[in-house]
């Protein structure tokens, strides 16, 4: 590990217990805080997450100013469950319709930036089990305490729920097999970020609105690389949130996610002049499924799109955004 990375880890790594709610309330001042949950078919879990944030950080303590769930083409009751738990719900494809339709988690998060007003924006996945509002206070701690910090990533133990017993440390498969090696190969200054793909993170709007958002599952890697380039390593902090349990996708689905992560890494290597100009990579992905007659060939496309920095979007500066109802 580079000496500057070891130094960064010592200075910029903390834990939830370092950021008690009382100290956050003292530091909040006039800072407005939005919590955003991207949600596609998360009716089973979104309500408990929203309810915990609303109970602990709105009703009992005036820390969070709005909780927005982005309904990302759900086919279940995600929107109703989220609203009943106290969130404002925005429909992904109804935000900035003039910008056309793009897909995936990154699209949901980019639309959320338009649909919220917080000076600080906290992103939390909507498929978490055993969620605690301490995730949110942990992520906000460094941002409310230190103006030099602009982006905070959560880190945690990541079990893999298979069968009746969780396999400790076996989660974060794309992180461990794709993202971490890529980061160490090309961006060793970021090798100290323990959960680069983790879905719980927070940032200053003044930074986020100046960055492009990769659509699909490239959003976390894209933002991390762009924050590093735009604001520098010392603007990034990480907070140990303990343990993260979430719904898992299939290996086949994570194969497509991996393709999106690789395409995002490739795009930054090209854009940041880190690689000789090469022809555009293929975005096709051929996968295989066993069938009674042999194998089914499944050809997909893992292309990711990209949304421009929100500051470049007409109307953003004056958009009226939903306030906590």
Ligand X SMILES: O=c1ccn([C@@H]2O[C@H](COP(=O)(O)OP(=O)(O)O)[C@@H](O)[C@H]2O)c(=O)[nH]1
Find the binder of ligand X among 12, 21, 38, 63 (CB under 6 A). Answer: 38
Per-residue x/- mask for ligand X, residues 189 to 228, rule CB under 6 A? ----------x-----------------------------
- Judged by beta carbon distances under 5 to 8 A according to partner kind, the member of ligand X, ligand XDX, none in contact with residue 141 is none
DSSP E strands in 20-105: the ranges are 33-39, 66-71, 88-91
The helix (H) or strand (E) run that includes residue 181 is helix 180-186
Give yes or no for residue 73 binding ligand XDX (CB under 6 A): no
Query: Residue 120: phi, psi to the nearest 5?
Result: -115, 140
Find the radius of gyration of the CA atoms of the chain: 19
Based on CB atoms, which residue is closest to ligand X, 82 or 149?
A: 82
Question: What is the rounded CA–CA span in Å between residue 314 and residue 319?
Answer: 9
Name residues whose C-beta falls within 8 Å of residue 157's C-beta, 6 or more positions apart in sequence.
168, 169, 242, 243, 244
The helix (H) or strand (E) run that includes residue 110 is helix 105-115
- Segment contacting ligand X (CB under 6 A): 7-15, 39-47, 222-230, 297-305? 39-47
Give yes or no for residue 153 binding ligand XDX (CB under 6 A): no
Per-residue x/- mask for ligand XDX, residues 170 to 209, rule CB under 6 A? -xxxxx---------------------xxx----------
Query: Residue 74: phi, psi to the nearest 5?
Result: -65, 150
Per-residue x/- mask for ligand XDX, residues 212 to 231, rule CB under 6 A? -----x--x-----------
Instruction: Count the neighbouring beta carbons within 10 Å of the beta carbon of residue 6.
Output: 12
Give yes or no for residue 32 binding ligand XDX (CB under 6 A): no
Residue numbers at the binding site for ligand XDX (CB under 6 A) = 105, 125, 158, 160, 171-175, 197-199, 217, 220, 246, 248-249, 254, 257
């Amino acid at each position: 590990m580079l000496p500057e990375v070891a130094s960064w880890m010592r200075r910029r790594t903390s834990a939830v217990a370092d950021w008690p709610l009382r100290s956050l309330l003292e530091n909040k001042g006039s800072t407005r805080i939005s919590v955003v949950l991207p949600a596609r078919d998360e009716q089973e879990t979104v309500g408990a997450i929203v309810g915990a944030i609303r109970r602990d950080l709105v009703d009992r303590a005036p820390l969070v100013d709005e909780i927005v769930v982005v309904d990302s083409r759900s086919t279940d009751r995600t929107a109703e469950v989220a609203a009943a738990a106290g969130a404002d719900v925005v429909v992904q494809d109804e935000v900035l319709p003039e910008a056309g339709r793009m897909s995936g988690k990154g699209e949901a998060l980019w639309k959320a930036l338009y649909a919220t007003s917080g000076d600080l924006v906290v992103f939390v996945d909507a498929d978490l089990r055993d969620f605690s509002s301490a995730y949110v206070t942990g992520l906000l701690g460094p941002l409310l305490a230190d103006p030099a910090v602009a982006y905070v990533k959560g880190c945690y133990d990541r079990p893999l729920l298979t069968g009746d017993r969780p396999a400790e440390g076996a989660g974060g498969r794309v992180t461990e097999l794709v993202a971490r090696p890529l980061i160490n190969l090309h961006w060793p200054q970021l090798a100290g970020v323990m959960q680069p793909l983790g879905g719980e993170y927070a940032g200053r709007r003044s930074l986020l609105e100046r960055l492009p958002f990769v659509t699909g599952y490239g959003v976390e890697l894209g933002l991390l690389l762009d924050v590093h380039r735009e604001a520098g390593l010392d603007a990034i902090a990480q907070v140990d949130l303990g343990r993260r349990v979430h719904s898992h996708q299939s290996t086949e689905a994570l194969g497509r996610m991996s393709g999106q992560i690789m395409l995002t890494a490739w795009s930054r290597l090209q854009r940041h002049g880190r690689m000789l100009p090469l022809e555009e990579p293929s975005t096709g992905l051929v996968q295989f499924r066993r069938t009674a007659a042999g194998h089914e060939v499944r050809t997909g496309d893992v292309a990711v799109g990209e949304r421009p920095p929100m500051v470049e979007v007409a109307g953003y500066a004056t958009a009226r955004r939903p306030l906590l109802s």
